[in-house]
Each structure stands twice: as C-alpha cells, then as structure tokens.
Structure 1
Amino acid sequence: MDAKEIETKTKALTKAASSGESPATLTSLLKELQSGVRATEDLLRSTRVGIVVNKLKTSKAPEVARLASEMVSKWRTEVNKQKQAGGAASSRGSSSPRPAQNGTGASTPAKTTPSDKASKLSVPPDKRTWKADGVDTNVTTSKVRDSCIGLMYDGLCLGSTESPKDVLKKAIAVETAAHDHLGPDTKEAYRTKMRSLFQNLKNKSNPTLRVRVLSGEIKPDQFIRMSSDELRSDSQREADEKIKKENMNNAMVAQAERSISTSLQCGKCGQRKVTYTEAQTRSADEPMTLFCTCMNCGKSWKQ
C-alpha cells in the first residue's frame, strides 16, 4: 500500500471503531493494514496508522486487541531495526576504507546485517529473560498488564531455544486470556493467577510445562484455567503420592505398649491409674528411669 491508501484504510478503521462496528469488521480492516503496511517511522507518523491501531489494543473484543497488539509490536521492531541499520551504516561511512591486500584498490567489506533480537538468541537458554533478550513488553496501555507479560515471558523462555518473537507472542496470548477471564488488571484474582502461573513455569522440576505451553499442546485459555494439581508434572505427582503413602504407613505403625501400674500415685490428683515406660537413661549399674503419665488428669513426670 502507498501512503494515500493507508490513510484511507486508517480513516475507515477510525470510523468503524467510533461507530461501534462488529469485531469482524475491525479485524478485517486490521488484517488489510497488517499485510499492506511496510512500517517506517515517517510512514507511521504521517498516516497516523500507528496511533489508531495502538488505541485498539484496549478493545473489549479479544481478537481485535490481540491483533492490534501484534501489529504494533511488529511495527515497533521493524522501526528499531531500521534505526540500528542506519546507525551502523553511518558508522561505516565515517570510517576510512581498508586497503586491498592485492593492491588493486579498496577492498569491499563483507555485507553485515544488524542482529535481529526478535528472532535470534543472544544469551544462553538458562540465562534468558525478556530484558536479556531485548524484548519490548510494552504491549498494552497498562503497566500491570505489561509487567505480567514480562512475567510470562520470563517463565516461558527459561531453558528454551524458541525465538524471542515466538515466546513473546505466546506470553501475550496467555496474559490476554487471563485478563479476559479474570480481569481487569485491578482484580486480585488476575494478579494472583499470573503469579501462580509464573511460579509453575519457572519450576525447574517441571520443565515439560513450559514446552507444552510453547508448543501449543496447552492452549492459553486452557492454561489459565488449570488447577495447581493439573499444573504439576507426573514426576511431582508420583513424589507426592510416595510421601503420602509413607506418612500413612508411619501412622499405622504400632506404638510401644505402656504398662499400667496401681502402685504409682499421681502427685496432682492422687489417683493410682498411671501408665509408664522404662528407659535406661543413666549408667548401667543404676536403676532405669520411669516415664509416667496419669490416666486421670494427664500429668506426666519421671522418676
């Protein structure tokens, strides 16, 4: 699309949004812009398409908000890449050419391209975070939601070799599902769920959870509804079951029998219903120690 056509589509999108058109209409217009716009900073500013699409990130229709967020994130990445490329070109242009080793003139430098942080890893998988990957999590107009997207990214990327772009897309989808189901972001239920999901994702004893979410085996809508038991791995369930069985077996172990004496008298209530056990707590040539308990009042003593 040229600038004039983009302006026309942008005006149509603005009119559709202000007049309360259906989500399907808004989505259709957004998809046309998504496929037709080749983002540059000047183009986004002159046509105001960036401003209009950015406002739709807060749409009540999940599909509209999600698509608008993806478009803004993609355009921001493209503009940043162009800025980096422009800076690198300027730096190369100001440096003196290297002399050719064969004496025939200046050598042609090898073509270089700026690192694309949205598609390549720059840190080891076990050191990944959204900050280390250079990802922009400012996707919504809410600081709380953007922070939660960062949390989801940090939980999903740990130990993963998936591209930052794919991880961010999944993190946004999970946060959007949680916000739609439990939001708004001011509700404690939403914040508690996001913290819980993050704790489960970063659990090193449950790496399959991250893989299942990233691969799409667990859908975002399903993920945010899973119980704490469903979030655990099979190995964690087996370990818990083993502990439960051990505790049950220990509870059924017969306790040492205590003798009952009528010759021993409780110093508190005066009754002679006393149980006792014997233990050698002193040297072998001394008598054993009696540990006594009154069956009437519960007083315990030793003698």
Structure 2
Amino acid sequence: MDAKEIESKAKALGKASAQKEPATVIVGLLKELQTGVRASEDLLRRTKIGVVVNKFKTSQAPEVARLASEIVSKWRNEVNKQKQGGGTAASRASNSPRPPQNGTGASTPASATPSDKASKLSVPPDKRTWKADGVDTAVSGSRVRDSCIGLMYDGLCVGSTESPKTVLSMAAAVEKAAHTYLGPETKPEYKEKMRSLFQNLKNKSNPTLRVQVLSGDITPDKFVRMTSDELRSEQQRAADEAIKKKNMNDAMVAQAERSISTSLQCGKCGQRKVTYTEAQTRSADEPMTLFCTCLNCGKSWRQ
C-alpha cells in the first residue's frame, strides 16, 4: 500500500468516526492498514496515519480499541527495528521474509512479523494459554515465580495475535516488576497482587487493559502499582458511577410519613413511644392495618 492509498484510508477512518459508523466498518479499515502497511518513519510522518489510528485506541468499542493498539504497537516496533538496523538497509530487510527467531531472553517485548505469528500460533486467539502455545515459563529459577509468569502469560495472551515470544517477554517483565515491588515470592502481598492482576487481565469487559500492557502503553512498573480502580475500564467506572448516583437518588426520595402515638404500647418494653403508618391491606369495609415501631427498643409489629 503506497502513501496515496494510506492517506485515502486515513480520510475514510476519519469520516467513519465522524458519522458514527458501526464498529465493523472501522475494524475493516483498520485490518486493511494492518496487513497493507509496511511501516517506516518517513511513511508514517508523511501520511500521519499513526496519529489517526492512535485516536481509535480509546474507542468505546473493545474490538476497535484492541486492533488500533495492536497496529500502533506493531508499527512502533517496526520503526525501532529499522533504526537499530541502520536506516535504509533495515527498511529493505523489513520488506523481506524474516527467519524464525528462537529463545525468550529478550528483556523488552518486540512485535513479531505476521509470518512469524502465523507459524507459531497453533490455537485460536481466544483459546490461548502458555501450555497451548507450548511456552516454557521456567525462566526465573523459582517455581513460585515461574508459576506467576505462566499466570501473567495466560492473562495477556487471551484474544491476542502477538507471538508467544512477545507475550512471554512481557509476562516475565510484569512478574519481575511485581517481585521487585512486593517480593520476595513468599510474601502474601506478592501472591495476592499477581492473582489480582491476572483477574483484571482476563476480564472480558476490559480488553483494552491487555492490549495496553502488551503494547507497552502501560509499563510493567506502572501496571503492578495500579489500584483496583485504576485497573478498571472507563466503561466499568462509568457504570459504577451510574449505580452510585441511582442509589443516592433513591436514598433522597421522601419516605412515607410516620405518625407518633402515645396511646399505643410496646408489648416488649411497655413504653408508649410508638410510631406507626396505616395501610389498607384488607377489604375496603374493614379497618386499616397499623404498622408499628417502638422508638425505645425498636420492636416492630402490626395490628
């Protein structure tokens, strides 16, 4: 895809967003960019396509936000690799097939090429686990820590098309940050944090969290220090706020006025400090029912 085609896609994305087109339309355009663009720093600067796609990372549609984050992460890594490889030569290399890479020693995540992903992913994205991907999580020398790395891997890989090597690298980085922050691994705080992070990562209502951690938008050090409120999605916080507001409004609704009688006597404490309300619970030709509460001991009855 050349620069002119990319600019055309950028305009189409902007138009789709402005007209509030369905998420499927935006996902289709993003997938065309994901497969058709061979990113270089010059190309991204000229077309400004990175800026356009980056805006969709905050989309309320989870599939749009996830895909946009993956694309931005992929382009960023491709440009970084080109810089490390030496400009034009690296750019030429990025357009040719790359040999498969082995090992898991990288300290920071790097996006794999599509051919690398296709050759390594043997299960659907929603069925991935470290066991299904055939990953060796024994990288720390501690059985407890390696188990937590596997836990982080299972949380990060759900629904992702990133290579096992990339996911394992980030899982190990998150565990290392948690161990530094709350370790050693024998402390309850460390184990509780790892379980909490896993639960938040696999939460289906918050898919952007996984993408942000995998892409590096949320660093491992920041991730392990986030509070439970910070880990929730904007949609979850908005829903909680709506419930809180509703409960507050309900609490402010005027309650039925209760009369106070000195003629009614509490059968428990004998006091004549009794409040009551009346309601017609029987037929219209029968007396109303009194619902009574003693102000002294709290006993309630009806008569």
Deviation at residue 69 of structure 1 after TM alignment: 6.6
Deviation at residue 229 of structure 1 after TM alignment: 1.2
Greater relative contact order (CA < 8 Å, ≥ 6 in sequence): 2
Q: Secondary structure at the match of 1:169?
A: helix
How many Å separate the matches in 2 of 1:189 and 1:244? 30
The correspondence of residues 210-289 of structure 1 with structure 2, limited to 5 A, is 210-289=210-289
How many Å separate the matches in 1 of 2:105 and 2:119? 15
Aligned counterpart for 1:70 among listed residues 100, 105, 116: 105
How many Å separate the matches in 2 of 1:233 and 1:154? 20
Contact 2:125–2:159 (8 Å) recurs in 1: yes
Which residue number in structure 2 is paired with residue 167 of structure 1? 167
How many Å separate the matches in 1 of 2:173 and 2:241? 34
Contact 1:117–1:134 (8 Å) recurs in 2: no
Note the aligned Cα RMSD (angstroms): 2.3
Q: Secondary structure at the match of 1:260?
A: strand
Larger Rg: 1
Contact 1:276–1:293 (8 Å) recurs in 2: yes
Q: Secondary structure at the match of 1:208?
A: helix
Q: Deviations over 1:54-108 (max 9, x none)?
A: xxxxxxxxxxxxxx9717xxxxxxxxxxxxxxxxxxxxxxxxxxxxxxxxxxxxx
Deviation at residue 301 of structure 1 after TM alignment: 1.8
How many Å separate the matches in 1 of 2:271 and 2:187? 61
Deviation at residue 181 of structure 1 after TM alignment: 1.9
Which residue number in structure 1 is paired with residue 298 of structure 2? 298
How many Å separate the matches in 2 of 1:184 and 1:296? 56
How many Å separate the matches in 2 of 1:182 and 1:148? 13
Deviation at residue 273 of structure 1 after TM alignment: 3.0
Q: Deviations over 1:165-208 (max 9, x none)?
A: 11011111111111122212111121111111101101111100
Q: Deviations over 1:4-53 (max 9, x none)?
A: xxxxxxxxxxxxxxxxxxxxxxxxxxxxxxxxxxxxxxxxxxxxxxxxxx
Q: Secondary structure at the match of 1:197?
A: helix
Contact 1:118–1:135 (8 Å) recurs in 2: no
Deviation at residue 280 of structure 1 after TM alignment: 2.1
Bigger CA drift: 235-244 or 292-301? 292-301
Which residue number in structure 1 is paired with residue 189 of structure 2? 189
Q: Secondary structure at the match of 2:105?
A: helix
* TM-score computed with the length of structure 1 as normaliser: 0.59
Task: Count residues in correspondence.
Answer: 194
How many Å separate the matches in 2 of 1:181 and 1:118? 36
How many Å separate the matches in 2 of 1:296 and 1:263? 15
Which residue number in structure 2 is paired with residue 128 of structure 1? 128
How many Å separate the matches in 1 of 2:195 and 2:267? 57
Contact 1:119–1:165 (8 Å) recurs in 2: no
Deviation at residue 116 of structure 1 after TM alignment: 7.6
- The amino acid of 2:278's aligned partner reads E
Q: Secondary structure at the match of 1:254?
A: coil
How many Å separate the matches in 1 of 2:287 and 2:180? 75
Which residue number in structure 1 is paired with residue 45 of structure 2? none
Deviation at residue 140 of structure 1 after TM alignment: 2.0
How many Å separate the matches in 1 of 2:182 and 2:288? 66
* TM-score computed with the length of structure 2 as normaliser: 0.59
Deviation at residue 138 of structure 1 after TM alignment: 1.2
The correspondence of residues 63-212 of structure 1 with structure 2, limited to 5 A, is 70=105, 120-212=120-212
Contact 1:178–1:190 (8 Å) recurs in 2: yes
How many Å separate the matches in 2 of 1:170 and 1:183? 18
Contact 1:118–1:164 (8 Å) recurs in 2: no
Q: Secondary structure at the match of 2:155?
A: helix
The gaps in structure 2 that reach 5 residues or longer are: 1-102, 107-114
Deviation at residue 122 of structure 1 after TM alignment: 0.9
